[in-house]
Structure 1
Amino acid sequence: MEAIKSLIQVFNVLSALAIIVLVLLQHGKGADMGAAFGSGSSGSLFGATGSANFMSRATAVCAIIFFLSLIFLVKLGAGSAGTQDVGVMSGVVQSAPAKQAAPVKPVQDDKQSSIPN
């Protein structure tokens, strides 16, 4: 079971690194504006339009792999917990509810009652 967890963790980390690299390699929306004025080249390794499609598809595939591996890790982790109470409030001891104090009467101000309408 631990070998499977380790393998899924490796896929998770590799897909996260691939997403980071692919996002950093992609052109931004404003990158073509600079090329229109002559600064920089608009050519790329996969062609002018092919790189955006290839990079965006590769990023989407890596994101799907990342989220699927993350879901599998959660499922494996939840299966090993069993019936143990591992919630946030599991260590808090429940005590008897405190007695409520008697309601406080509002204090009337004598100045308001002496003012004529």
Structure 2
Amino acid sequence: MIETVIVVLHLLVAIGLVGLVLMQQGKGAETGASFGSGASGTVFGSQGSGTFLSRVTAILATTFFLTSLGLAYYASHKASAVQEAGLPDPALQVEQVAPAPVLSEDVPVIEEDVTPVPAGEDVPPAAE
């Protein structure tokens, strides 16, 4: 149950992190604001939304790493519980594959009639 909650939180944080990174502007976009191009009247002030988005991105990145560590913790405990129970490791199990059918000698093999083309003649196009 708790593992499912962590996986859902991990997925939501990952999507939010990607969205925030895509919303942020590059360093070249700040040069216009430094010369007073009217950016002081914006919602986030003259520095723009960089500090706000940077803080939220840092919080989401930290949450992402913590959920990653939590999932690794649960995976390692699940693997050790499987080993202690004496069950085979599912990652090491080999899938059983049925052998390919072997044609018996009673089944006739159909051979195509292939006639060689004499040298110097054009080869006719292949029949489809």
Scaled to the shorter chain, the TM-score interval is: 0.5 to 0.7
Q: What residue in structure 1 maps to residue 44 of structure 2?
A: 46
Q: What residue in structure 1 maps to residue 116 of structure 2?
A: none
Residue deviations 1:57-85, cap 9 Å, x none?
Answer: 10000000000001000100110111366
Alignment of 1:12 with 2:6, yes or no, is no
Higher share of residues assigned helix = 1
TM-score (norm 2): 0.55
| CA–CA distance in structure 1, aligned partners of residues 3 and 72 of structure 2 | 10
| CA–CA distance in structure 2, aligned partners of residues 9 and 61 of structure 1 | 18
Distance 1:45 1:26, change over 3 A: farther
TM-score (norm 1): 0.59
Aligned length: 85
Higher CA-based Rg: 2
CA RMSD after TM alignment: 2.6
Mapping of 1:1-117 within 5 angstroms? 3-33=1-31, 42=39, 44-82=42-80, 83=83
- SS for the counterpart of 1:75 is helix
| Cα shift at 1:45 | 3.8
**Bigger RCO (CA 8 Å, 6+ sep):** 1
| Cα shift at 1:47 | 2.3
* 8 A contact 1:15–1:66 mirrored in 2: yes
Q: Give the ranges of 4+ consecutive aligned residues of structure 1 lying more than 4 Å apart after TM superposition.
A: 33-36, 41-44, 84-87
Moved more, 46-55 or 74-83: 46-55
| Percentage of pairs with the same residue | 38
What runs of 5+ residues in structure 2 fail to find an aligned partner?
94-128
